Amino acid sequence: MTSRRALHFVFKVGNRTKTAQFYQKILGMKFLRHEEFEEGCKASCNGPYDGRWSKSMVGFGPEENHFVVELTYNYGIGSYKLGNDFLGITILGKAILDRAKAQNYPVTEENGKTVLQSPDGYKFHIENKDPDKDADPVVKVALASSNLEKSIDYWTRLLGMKVYSKTDKTALLGYADDQCKLELHDIGGPVDHGTAFGRIAFSCPRSQLAGIEASVKAEKQKIIMPLVSLDTPGKATVEVVILADPDGHEICFVGDEAFRELSKVDPKAEQLLSEAVDKDQSDEWFAKKGLQKGSA
């Protein structure tokens, strides 16, 4: 269904300063939006946490035609437990490897892939070649599956994805040739999401949201948050439904029309993030109390 778009993947981060440096100085991405919040997100964007948090969107270009990353930072939490659910994001870019080596950032090899890990341990598979002109360097997101056939059935029959390629242990799915793909890997056992569990987001025409929800409900699959309208002060109101596949991977679908307005690049994003980092006294506050930030 070419009317649907792959948008972003959500990571929880414990060290916002180091994380920002990794995305900017190593991966070469730019911050597209940054927002600070005093209360937890109604859609649990930052996980099941109350209190102050921030959301930063970062990528190689606007979310209108690039797959980007959403970084959520909870002020009171310094680290999260990784599971085996998220397997990596593949990016094309010779310059990324050059920057990593020039700055002595660890570069490792894993199963024939060149891997960079973010400060919080999320893996990025870097291919030593550049994308075609004007193409998004982000190629695919890899997630674990405990039963590949079951996962393929869910993502294709219920969510309308196309199978681009398939082996005994992997399947490459997507909505369009020029979009970031989803690669499922059968890991031969249960999928553990830890506390760092992320969420993948897609957009679709607003008129399709109720149908997606109804199809999933009819199959008695999990709906994390039923279709709802969410307000962002001063910005567009978007309709959202949040699902979970058979392995518990969280999936967000948003109405495309409003989201295009909501996701416009803010030219002040990097400045806003920098100001928030400079004002962040949470580490000092915990230190004065003789405490450490929580580990989720």
The DSSP 8-state label assigned to residue 130 in this structure reads P
pLDDT given for residue 59 in this prediction: 98
C-alpha to C-alpha distances, 261 to 264, 265, 293, nearest whole angstrom:
6, 10, 36
- Please report which confidence band the pLDDT of residue 294 belongs to, taking 50, 70 and 90 as the band edges: low
pLDDT given for residue 4 in this prediction: 97
The mean of the pLDDT values for the chain is: 93
pLDDT given for residue 250 in this prediction: 98
pLDDT for residue 151 is more than 60:
yes
- Please report which confidence band the pLDDT of residue 292 belongs to, taking 50, 70 and 90 as the band edges: low
What's the distance, CA 228 to chain centroid?
21
pLDDT for residue 269 is more than 60:
yes
Mean pLDDT of 128-138: 92
- Please report which confidence band the pLDDT of residue 232 belongs to, taking 50, 70 and 90 as the band edges: confident
Backbone angles phi, psi at 7, to 5 degrees: -110, -60
Q: What is the dihedral of CA 202, 73, 48, 221, to 10 degrees?
A: 20
Contact predicate 223/241, CB 8 Å: yes
pTM of the model: 0.93
- Of all residues in the chain, what percent carry a pLDDT higher than 70? 95
CA 25/CA 39 separation, integer angstroms: 30
pLDDT for residue 171 is more than 80:
yes
pLDDT for residue 233 is more than 90:
no
CA 255/CA 161 separation, integer angstroms: 17
- Please report which confidence band the pLDDT of residue 293 belongs to, taking 50, 70 and 90 as the band edges: low
Q: Residue 219: CA atoms inside 13 Å, Cβ hemisphere, count? A: 19
pLDDT in tens, 85-106: 999 999 999 999 999 999 999 9
- Please report which confidence band the pLDDT of residue 120 belongs to, taking 50, 70 and 90 as the band edges: very high
Q: Residue 101's CB: how many other CB atoms inside 10 A?
A: 10
* Cα four-point dihedral sign 250, 254, 259, 262: negative
pLDDT in tens, 16-74: 999 999 999 999 999 999 999 988 787 778 787 778 999 999 999 999 999 999 999 99
Mean pLDDT of 242-256: 98
- Of all residues in the chain, what percent carry a pLDDT higher than 90? 82
E strands of 67-207, at which residues? 68-74, 77-79, 86-92, 108-110, 113-117, 123-127, 138-145, 162-166, 170-174, 181-186, 199-204
Query: Which domains, ranges and CATH numbers included, belong to the chain?
Result: 5-295 (3.10.180.10)
* Cα four-point dihedral sign 24, 29, 32, 34: negative
